[in-house]
């Protein structure tokens, strides 16, 4: 219900909404070519997993459980079928592919060399399933240690559970199994994880042949899981309860990453129902996100990370994420500050031509970025698009660096000083059980900025750099000295440590 006062304020303040500068569509389309990739005929082309095999062919897992491989002549050949909602695919040497499906991590092996998998080997199914739709399983990502890492979703109170479940039921929690099986989810918490390892990251040693262990807790819906160029495990999560805006977690062994439900699976957990713990206590336990996908402005549902290869010039080694909700990708440029990895989120390929639903990302051997799309009845799309590495990068924010005195923003092209008008502010999100969060504790920032002689380095001295806050650096309207528009003219730097 709207109070009269507020409604009045609204009518006064915004009878005719003011227009904001629209993100340019043309700039991105001039600088990058986004082309559709033909998909196999007669299938539901929502992409759950996508990777280039060692021999350069593209392998794709689709919504209804098929895996297809595109042959060198461009035709598609079916490699496997019958999987249950595959949501990740990883190469595994000649004739073998790893797929994460709802019930298990599976190795698909073509033992007789006819191009079709004839063995569906269960690599790991030691986690519980209640039959709740939201218990998606993501990954695998292969670490520098040769182990496989997967992410397991929590169940959603948007639905109950099956009568028959897999795994041992945890009695910790307000909702009873009987009530949940009857669809009464009221007491469960918005997201719940009452069977083993829901909400956790699992590690399976030796490329899946070794033992499995619980690696980290604290996730809600970790769709994007992967390693950066330096071997750090990056896992993002989706805005929601305990997620003011979608975070990027730099995950280390034994860490708790913010969503409390999975704490019941932490080794030696003895504090009862984690959903009942006071927020300050959880705040002490949790690892802060190293980056934040700003809701609405950047990403509402971030997805898979991929590392730019050498063909992408100045972006090589940086990370790019997909985004489901908007026609956009997001770059993450991180750095180590006093032992903590943190950094800036920057919009990328922010053009309608890309369309939304950007779910799985992989770079081809020639450097072309491939993006597989899905929606699963949420906001999204279907199909695959291909974006070749450009000959030259357009004007972009290349990196953002936190210094002792402020920020340094590096551009990929010389910027015309007259076009620069940096607008800065900092804000943060609430850490609470409520779904999402407004931006709070907002502070406009002033900076006596300067641009280097070569036009490529913007120095922003700042007095008020706050730990735990996003620092927004906007340079809308900036142009290169040769008159091209700076694409993606905003960076959101999450300061964990300063």
Partner 1 sequence: MPRWFLTPILALCATLASAQDGKLLYEQNCAACHLPDQMVVGPSLVEITKLYEKKPKEFVAWAVKPQKKRNGVIEMPSMAHLGEANLLAVHEYMLTASKGLKEKPAVTKDPLARPARRPEIQRMFLPNVGPAAIAVALPGDLNYCFDAGDCRLRTVWRGNFLDCWAYYKSNGKAVATLLGQSLWQLPPDESLQKRVKFLGYSVDTTGLPTFEYERDGGQFREKIVAEGKTLVRRFEVTTAKPITFTLDDATTSSAGIVRNNTLTLTPSEAKSFTLTLRLP
Least distance between ligand HEC and beta carbon 300 (Å): 8
Tokens, residue 400: 């953002």
Q: Does 165 bind partner 1 (CB under 8 A)?
A: yes
| Residues 101-120 contacting partner 1, CB under 8 A | 101-104, 106-107, 117-120
3-state secondary structure of 281: helix
Residue 440, interface with ligand HEC (CB under 6 A)? no
Q: Which is nearer to ligand HEC, 6 or 379 (CB)?
A: 379
> Out of 8, 379, 440, 443, which residue is the one contacting ligand HEC (CB under 6 A)?
379
**Nearer Cβ to partner 1, position 76 or 227?**
76
Q: In whole angstroms, how close is the CB of 238 to ligand HEC at the nearest point?
A: 11
Residues from 333 through 372 that contact partner 1 (CB under 8 A):
356
> 13 vs 404, which CB is nearer to partner 1?
13
Q: How far is the CB of 331 from partner 1 (least distance, A)?
A: 19
Task: Give the nearer residue to partner 1 in terms of CB position, either 144 or 378.
Answer: 378
How many residues sit close enough to ligand HEC to count as binding (CB under 6 A)?
2
Q: Which stretch binds partner 1 (CB under 8 A): 225-233, 273-281, 336-344, 373-381?
A: 373-381
Complete DSSP assignment for 170-207? P--SSS-HHHHHTT--GGG-SEE--STTTT-EEEETGG
DSSP letter at 7 equals H
Cβ 188 to partner 1 shortest distance, Å: 14
Give the strands of the sheet with 148-152, arranged side by side: 137-142, 148-152, 201-204, 212-216
Rounded distance, CA 132 to CA 61, Å?
A: 22
378 binds ligand HEC (CB under 6 A): yes
Instruction: Choose among partner 1, ligand HEC, none what residue 41 binds, the Cβ cut-off being 5 to 8 Å by kind.
Output: none
Please identify, among the stretches 79-87, 88-96, 282-290, 389-397, the one whose residues bind partner 1 according to the rule CB under 8 A: 79-87
CA distances from 242 to 238, 246, 423, 434 (A): 10, 10, 29, 7
- For residues 295 and 304, which CB has a smaller minimum distance to ligand HEC in the complex? 295
Q: Which listed option, ligand HEC, partner 1, none, makes contact with residue 421 (CB within 5 to 8 Å by class)?
A: none
The rounded distance, in Å, linking the Cα atoms of 87 and 137 is: 7
**Position among 40, 131, 461, 468 found at the interface with partner 1 (CB under 8 A):** 131
What distance in Å separates the CA atoms of residue 350 and residue 348, rounded to the nearest whole number?
5
The smaller minimum CB distance to partner 1, of residues 69 and 234, is found at 69
Sheet strand arrangement including 457-461? 397-402, 406-411, 457-461, 450-451
Helix (H) or strand (E) holding 214: strand 212-216
- Which of 109, 210, 204, 187 is closest to 152 using CA atoms? 204
The answer for residues whose C-beta is within 8 angstroms of residue 464's C-beta and 6 or more apart is 426, 443, 445
CB 235 within 8 A of CB 249: yes
> Based on CB atoms, which residue is closest to ligand HEC, 239 or 318?
239
Asked if the bond preceding 140 is cis, omega within 30° of 0, the reply is yes
Sole binder of partner 1 in the list 246, 257, 295, 426 (CB under 8 A): 295
From the CB of residue 177, how many other CB atoms can be counted at a distance below 10 Å? 18
| Cβ 130 to partner 1 shortest distance, Å | 7
Least distance in angstroms from the C-beta of 371 to partner 1? 16
Interaction site with ligand HEC (CB under 6 A): 378-379
């Amino acid at each position: 219900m709207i109070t009269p006062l507020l409604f009045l304020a609204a009518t006064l303040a915004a009878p005719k909404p003011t227009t904001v500068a629209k993100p340019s569509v043309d700039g991105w389309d001039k600088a990058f070519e986004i082309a559709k990739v033909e998909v196999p005929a007669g299938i539901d082309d929502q992409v759950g997993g996508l990777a280039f095999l060692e021999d350069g062919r593209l392998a794709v897992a689709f919504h209804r459980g098929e895996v297809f491989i595109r042959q060198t002549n461009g035709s598609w050949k079916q490699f496997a079928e019958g999987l249950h909602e595959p949501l990740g695919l990883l190469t595994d040497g000649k004739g073998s592919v790893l797929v994460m499906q709802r019930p298990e991590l599976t190795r698909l092996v073509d033992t007789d060399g006819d191009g079709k998998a004839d063995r569906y080997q269960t690599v790991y199914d030691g986690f519980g399933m209640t039959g709740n739709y939201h218990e998606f399983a993501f990954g695998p990502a292969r670490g520098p240690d040769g182990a496989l890492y997967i992410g397991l979703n929590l169940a959603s109170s948007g639905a109950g559970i099956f009568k028959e479940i897999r795994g041992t039921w945890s009695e910790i929690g307000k909702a009873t199994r009987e009530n949940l099986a009857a669809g009464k989810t009221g007491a469960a918490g918005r997201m719940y994880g009452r069977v083993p390892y829901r909400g956790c990251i699992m590690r399976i040693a030796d490329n899946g042949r070794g033992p499995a262990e619980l690696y980290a807790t604290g996730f809600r819906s970790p769709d994007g899981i992967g390693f950066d160029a330096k071997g750090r495990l990056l896992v993002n999560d989706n805005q929601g309860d305990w997620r003011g805006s979608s975070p990027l977690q730099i995950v280390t062994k034994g860490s708790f990453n913010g969503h409390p439900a999975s704490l019941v699976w932490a080794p030696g957990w003895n504090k009862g129902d984690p959903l009942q713990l006071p927020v300050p206590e959880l705040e002490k336990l949790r690892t802060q996100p190293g980056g934040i996908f700003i809701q609405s402005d950047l990403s509402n549902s971030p997805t898979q990370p991929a590392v730019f290869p050498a063909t992408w010039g100045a972006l090589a080694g940086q990370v790019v994420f997909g985004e489901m909700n908007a026609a956009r990708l997001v770059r993450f440029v991180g750095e180590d500050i006093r032992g903590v990895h943190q950094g800036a989120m920057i919009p990328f390929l922010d053009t309608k031509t890309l369309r939304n639903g950007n779910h799985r990302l992989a770079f081809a051997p020639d450097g072309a970025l491939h993006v597989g799309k899905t929606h699963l009845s949420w906001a999204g799309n279907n199909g695959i698009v291909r974006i070749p590495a450009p000959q030259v990068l357009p004007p972009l924010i290349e990196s953002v660096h936190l210094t002792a005195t402020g920020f340094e923003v590096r551009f990929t092209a010389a910027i015309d000083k007259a076009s620069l008008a940096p607008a800065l502010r900092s804000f943060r999100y609430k850490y609470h059980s409520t779904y999402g969060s407004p931006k709070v504790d907002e502070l406009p920032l002033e900076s006596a900025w300067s641009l280097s002689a070569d036009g490529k380095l913007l120095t922003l001295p700042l007095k008020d750099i706050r730990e735990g806050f996003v620092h927004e650096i906007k340079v809308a309207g900036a142009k290169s000295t040769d008159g091209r528009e700076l694409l993606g003219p905003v960076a959101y730097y999450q300061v964990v440590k300063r």
